[in-house]
Structure 1
């Protein structure tokens, strides 16, 4: 048995709806600007191939847990997203085979230090500090799913007021296309999570805000910023 100079980190995992077993998380990939109105909101209007960024697995926040307002920002934003949970591995996967790789779906929020993102974009620097910080990925339990992906309402409310609302069917790149494109850049493996992009209406959060999000048929999440 290998020995370590200190205890290795615990395996990050997410609950599975209605089951005792948990979904072990390997890594988190995220798609940027995948709803047309949000793309226009952020200064674009095209259908370029989807671009990806990453968050560390330990950025996940367990369902119902509070989220600490992060350091080094004065402009924290919410971005509600459908999460794809990968259950089978593969590389260079064809679009018509991509659904076979999916274990299920969850609801997630891509929390963003928008001021740091804007500064990085202006200097053409990476986004890690804006996207991959501690507790930047609250999520709901994973729901097992077979067949066609969710297409219904996706929404987030802050203190009871709806801030983002759309339908998943509005995505520029659909779920099979996203999985296929990701598999061209990485060998996907069981435990990978893919955040699939957010609709228009992203906006700020402050300490004390109560946040609720949902994707129709998939689930709901709730957290408070503290």
Structure 2
């Protein structure tokens, strides 16, 4: 199953571009609110399996928004790819390095991002969407608590990140627009091997990152086991699982995003984000767009 936020409405999509509005097709049983889809994920999946293929009609996907607009919690992982830890000059961590991205930073798969400084870096990530409440989940059962997977960018302001005696990870990675997400959430059963997916990103068509999630130091089941041991995970929560090698800060010389760049990010089997970068003057427009998205998604 592939679920999207199409102009503020929960929509089931097929890989051929045909789709169906969840609220309309279910006669109101399920909400139009994309976030509510994850609150009722098992029931929604069971219902979707009964839909006749004739219900799916051609749709334009020009108005795809963030498919998970209001998660309670957004967890993120640092140094969770072997090659990325090596390029950063750090030893592979012995336990997951967990921080948070604030939900207010999330934005859509086509939204512009206003760059607040000249040191904003890219970090493509495989993102997990939780499908049911999880507490002390054993690794062997972890995938059954996942609603689906999506693509994300953990954009990072590197000066703020390194200010002070300790890293400012959450603040530096939670500025406005620093969490592009989408374009859809794809249920786990759509993947032949959800533990081995290609992901990458490009700036203006030049590939910067390309790896496979099999290089994760702590794969998805290990992350869910670890986080749920300490915190309760709720439906619709997100886990940004970490970024592979190829970030701008470790290049020689370092390279960062500039206004006019187009950042394209992808995860195998999920699809592509395409986010244009604007200058500080574009901050007001980006903020207005984010408010409009949040308003649409809560109706």
Q: TM-score, normalised by structure 1?
A: 0.86
Cα distance change, pair 39–213 in 1 and its aligned pair in 2 (3 A): same
1:83 aligns with 2:127: yes
Q: Report the Cα distance in structure 2 between the residues aligned to 1:110 and 1:92, rounded to whole angstroms.
A: 27
Contact 2:160 2:168 in 1 (8 A): no
Given that 1:150 and 1:218 are in contact with CA atoms closer than 8 Å, whether structure 2 keeps it comes out as: no
Task: Kindly indicate whether the alpha-carbon contact (under 8 Å) linking 2:79 and 2:92 is maintained by their aligned counterparts in 1.
Answer: no
Tell me how far apart the structure 1 counterparts of residues 76 and 11 of structure 2 sit (CA, whole Å). 21
Task: Point out where structure 2 has 5 or more consecutive residues left out of the alignment.
Answer: 1-7, 14-19, 23-33, 36-67, 249-255, 279-299
Label 1:184 to 1:138 Cα distance change in 2 as closer, same or farther (>3 A).
same
Residue aligning to 1:65: 111
Instruction: Give the helix-richer structure, 1 or 2.
Output: 2
Matched ranges for 1:128-207 at <5 A: 128-140=170-182, 141-146=184-189, 148-203=193-248, 204-207=256-259
Write the deviation string for residues 7-47 of structure 1: whole angstroms up to 9, x where unpaired: xxxxxx89666154523522211011111111122221224
Whether the aligned pair in 2 keeps the contact of 1:143 and 1:219 (CA below 8 Å) is no
The more displaced of 22-31 and 144-153 is 144-153
Look up the SS of the partner of 1:116 in the other structure.
helix
Residue 210 of structure 1 aligns with which residue? 262
Q: Classify 1:78/1:125 alpha carbon distance in 2 versus 1 (closer, same or farther; 3 Å).
A: closer
Asked if 2 retains the 8 angstrom alpha-carbon contact of 1:81 and 1:107, the reply is yes
Name whichever of 53-62 and 20-29 sits farther off. Answer: 20-29
Question: Higher mean Cα deviation, 142-151 or 203-212?
Answer: 142-151
User: Aligned with 1:39: secondary structure?
Assistant: helix
Q: What TM-score, normalized by structure 2, do the two folds share?
A: 0.66
- Alignment correspondent of 2:159: 115
SS in 2 for 1:139: strand
Gaps of 5+ in 1: 1-12
Q: 1:187 to 1:67 in 2, by over 3 A?
A: same
Alignment of 1:15-94 (within 5 A): 18=13, 20-21=21-22, 22-23=34-35, 24=68, 25-70=71-116, 73-94=117-138
**1:93-112 counterparts in 2 under 5 A?**
93-112=137-156
Cα pair 2:80 2:216 within 8 Å, conserved = yes
1:90 deviates by 1.6
Rounded Cα–Cα distance in structure 1 between residues aligned with 2:11 and 2:79: 28
Q: SS where residue 155 of structure 1 aligns? A: strand
Q: CA RMSD in A?
A: 1.9
Partner of 1:5: none
Q: Distance in 2 between matches of 1:97 and 1:114?
A: 37
CA distance in 2, matches of 1:109, 1:14: 23
Give the 3-state SS of the residue equivalent to 1:178 in structure 2.
helix
